Amino acid sequence: MKTIETRRVVITGVGLNSPLGNSYDELFESLKNSKCGIEYIPEWENVKSLGTKIAGRVKNIDLKQIPRKYRRSMDRVAQLCAISTTNALEDANLPPEIRTSKRCGLSFGSTMGGNETMFQYIPEVKENMSFRGQNSMGFLKIMSHTVSANIAQMFSIKGRNIPTCSACTSSSQAIGAGYESIKYGLSDVMICGGGEEHHYLSAGVFDIMGAATTKHNHEPEVASRPFDESRDGLVVSEGSGAIVLESLDHALARGAKIYGEIIGYATSCDGEHITTPSQNGMKQVMETALEDANIVPSDVEYINAHATATQKGDIAESHATYSVFSDKPFVSSTKGHMGHLLGGCGVVETIICLIALNESLLPQTLNFKKLDPECAPINILGKNIEKNITIAMNNNFAFGGINTSLIFKKYKG
């Protein structure tokens, strides 16, 4: 049998827009100071039968920094991702001749396309039974791969373009696809990430399922409570992120700074219920990621959990995590700080893992007081700790039983 040669994959650039800040440094400071980016949304009072009235929003961002010729085919989700990508490419100091070569690719995703454009476009066409007067850019803003398509155009990407539209695993699958593209020699550079835009549609979807918090609309900073016995649901938020991946040899040859190394990745499907999480599916994806990384469970020192503060999800994840790792690694969910970024959570939580590795900050699970007795006794961080670690894991799980697990290692040369 032919042996497949593999290459080491490193992260050389990061960019993000989140409720906790719009850069690596801002995110680090917000986590260090236990800030919460969730707020009351007064305009949602006008949405009938919407129980949840809180969200995390991106602030202090100028979307018009994107040239109009690109912005005109983007709704907010693509615009957020485009700015994150701009920042990641600048951070990586990736020259145009590399970015536009056939060896540089793109992998990006979101749960949906532009919600606001969709709300305008479809009702007008249906009511009038006519496309007269419709903007020709409308569909380009709402199509499922609007993020990856628009970013590819804006940055003249000529290599692979892999859209990943898998709800809450969109950006973690994007990172995994980029990692595998480089690991197996199909690309030298991959720009990966994803995002979600602020809209009451996203909140309403979870609200009617009984999965969104409704008890803390007027105290939003304590609303998201992953793993806590008093949790009553998730907070839907917006955000985006991008990271630049390179083969280690490629990064070293051009003298790039290195944030960390991706050493393991797995994605799997439960093949069971379309919304109910599977403990076995979660367990399997973590074990497979460990196999890909060629490490054992005791090597993992910190896990950034998906834990969205839903009843069933947190319980299943805690038992899956305990069955693989026991109570050895530190575990936290940073959704207490900023809510659930949906398609953007995987990449922003990846950047949080890089902060844990490089800044020795293991962030707390904000608002965690007492573990739900139905959860397994995993080692949940109720406060920030400073600890020098070498290996971190990020897990994400989505509707349809889609699971992802990414493993990162501190780069030491």
Q: Annotated active-site positions, please?
A: 168, 306, 340
Whole-number Å distance between alpha carbons of 81 and 195: 6
Contact between 349 and 304 (Cβ < 8 Å): yes
Please give the structure tokens belonging to residue 92.
């990586």
Whole-number Å distance between alpha carbons of 80 and 141: 13
Whole-number Å distance between alpha carbons of 89 and 95: 8
SS (H, E, C) 147-159: HHHHHHHHCCCCC
Q: Are strands 361-362 and 302-304 parallel, antiparallel or unpaired?
A: unpaired
Q: Are strands 104-109 and 189-196 parallel, antiparallel or unpaired?
A: parallel
Contact between 324 and 293 (Cβ < 8 Å): no
**Full DSSP string of 197-257:** ---HHHHHHHHHTT-B--S-TT-GGGT--TTBTT---B-B--EEEEEEEEEHHHHHHTT--
Whole-number Å distance between alpha carbons of 304 and 316: 15
Phi, psi dihedral angles at 32 (to 5 degrees):
-60, -35
**Residue 393: what residue type?**
M
Please give the structure tokens belonging to residue 302.
């910190």
- Per the rule left: phi > 0, alpha: psi between -120 and 50, beta: everything else, 133 is left
Please give the structure tokens belonging to residue 305.
């959990």
**Cα of 153 vs its chain's centroid, Å:** 22
Whole-number Å distance between alpha carbons of 359 and 385: 11
> How far are the Cα atoms of 167, 205, 270, 312 from residue 276, in angstroms, in the given order?
14, 15, 10, 8
